[in-house]
Amino acid sequence: MQRSLWLPFPNPSTYQSSMVPIQTQSQYSIGWQDTMAFFIATFTIYLFSTSILYGFYGDARLILGPSSSRLIQSRSFFVDQIEVTNEYTNANNDIHLYAFNEKPELNSEINWTTSKFLVVEAYSRKGISLWLNEGSTICLRWEAEASSLNKLEGIVIKGEKRFEKLEPNNGKRAEYIVEEDDRYQIGILNMNARNIILTLHINVSAKIYDTTKATNKCSTRNGSCKLDLFFPITYYLVLTAPKNGNDDDDAWFVEISFMARVFSYIILLGVFMIVIFMILKCLGADYGEIHNVAEAQEVTETEPLMQPNPVTYGTNIFHEKEETNSDVSEELYDEKLCIICFDEQRNCFFVPCGHCATCYDCAQRIMDEESNSTLTDQIANPKSKVCPVCRRVINKVKRLF
């Protein structure tokens, strides 16, 4: 009985396991990132909608003044209706709201004068507040005791912060030219150590908008008025006040309310949410997909834990894996063919070298050539019966299968 030297390479022990997903640290990290991304997107959408609804077009309390003309721009894409409420409902305080499709020209001018009897405390100021447009001129004149005139100064405060002192002429007169549309507080600053009683005369040459080309208008004769805005036109609105209205107070305010166009906000927020969703999806935060970090794999008893190492037939030489572009299956097939005929598989080995390189028929032909050769040939070529791989002398051939 022939003893085969062909022994299969043993595989490591295998085991049977159930499909149990393993929770890893990366899974918790991805879940936390998705939660934070969703929270940030929701919070951003909320801030965006709130800033438009209550910031740009929120209800406001606007200041006017005698013969004031104040321009407001409104987009009907966001606003459906505007309502103006006058805090002073007597006959002399009628406010008008004009609507324009194009920006009106600031080319008209009106003059008005008012006088105030004031008691100004020591080291304090007092005056009136009003809205003025660019190009308007303010002229202040005050009458008081001669001993206190040198410590009285005319002042102008633009907006809420910009404070300017006016250079008086002859100690009791000052002028100021308006350079920008804004709220202005004009009055007297008392630098005396005692209260001063004075009379303040204010003469204003105000620039106002031309309202002759208005497409729509309303009046607060009954306390409030409403104006509808047609979609999707950008409107220019002008609020005008009468010349001698509200002459007793230091400031004149009106309430203006913007009725939101809900349908436009829904469309805008929908588009904004889609953009945010696409950005997050590009960054890898896809909320509609559950990340399966640890996938369960079914392991059977016939599946080895380690990949078997390739072993050459009949030798102990291990072949290293070479990264080539050729087909792996073809290479493995060629390694099993006889190196002489390339038709049959290698099914024998030579003794004593142990090389398995040919089929049994080709190996027998090598041995038969030695047997059929003459004595002269054997003397001339003593090593003719040799292994085709290592060229060692062959004693015999052993069959594998």
Q: Which pLDDT value is given to residue 42?
A: 66
pLDDT at 211 over 80: yes
Same domain, yes or no: 258 and 363: no
Same domain, yes or no: 355 and 242: no
Residue 250 lies in a domain: yes
Nearby residues of 30 by Cβ (< 8 Å), 6 or more positions away: 291, 293
Q: With cut-offs at 50, 70 and 90, classify the pLDDT of residue 317.
A: very low
CB 201 within 8 A of CB 117: no
Most confident listed range (92-96, 133-137, 292-296):
133-137
Same domain, yes or no: 257 and 336: no
Q: Report pLDDT digits (tens) over 287-306.
A: 444 444 444 444 444 555 55
At 6, is the secondary structure helix, strand, or coil? coil
Higher pLDDT, 221 or 15: 221
Residue 296 lies in a domain: no
Number of domains forming the structure of the chain: 2
Same domain, yes or no: 80 and 172: yes
- Range of the structural domain that residue 347 is part of: 328-399
> DSSP state, 298?
-
Q: Which pLDDT value is given to residue 339?
A: 85
Residue 83 lies in a domain: yes
pLDDT at 270 over 80: no
CA distances from 363 to 7, 110, 194, 346 (A): 21, 124, 133, 10
Most confident listed range (122-126, 247-251, 328-332):
122-126
Q: Which pLDDT value is given to residue 248?
A: 57
Q: Which pLDDT value is given to residue 192?
A: 87
* Tokens describing residue 54: 């209550």
Same domain, yes or no: 87 and 201: yes
User: How many CB atoms are closer than 10 A to CB 393?
Assistant: 14
Same domain, yes or no: 248 and 334: no
pLDDT at 20 over 60: no
Q: In three state form, how does the secondary structure of 196-218 look?
A: EEEEEEEEEEEEECCCCCCCEEE
Question: What's the whole-number average pLDDT of the chain?
Answer: 73
pLDDT at 286 over 50: no
Residue 118 lies in a domain: yes
Residue 33 lies in a domain: no
| Boundary of a domain, candidates 267, 291, 307 | 267
Same domain, yes or no: 81 and 226: yes
Residue 157 lies in a domain: yes
Same domain, yes or no: 111 and 234: yes
Q: Which pLDDT value is given to residue 209?
A: 92
Same domain, yes or no: 262 and 339: no
User: How many CB atoms are closer than 10 A to CB 126?
Assistant: 19
> DSSP state, 101?
S
Same domain, yes or no: 107 and 234: yes
pLDDT at 243 over 50: yes
Mean pLDDT (whole number) for 334-345: 81
194: CATH: 2.60.120.380
Mean pLDDT (whole number) for 42-51: 66
Residue 150 lies in a domain: yes
Residue 173 lies in a domain: yes
Q: Which pLDDT value is given to residue 144?
A: 85
| Boundary of a domain, candidates 217, 243, 267 | 267
Higher pLDDT, 118 or 330: 118
Higher pLDDT, 199 or 262: 199
* Tokens describing residue 179: 């350079």
Mean pLDDT (whole number) for 22-41: 57
Higher pLDDT, 330 or 215: 215
pLDDT at 199 over 80: yes
Q: Which pLDDT value is given to residue 277?
A: 76
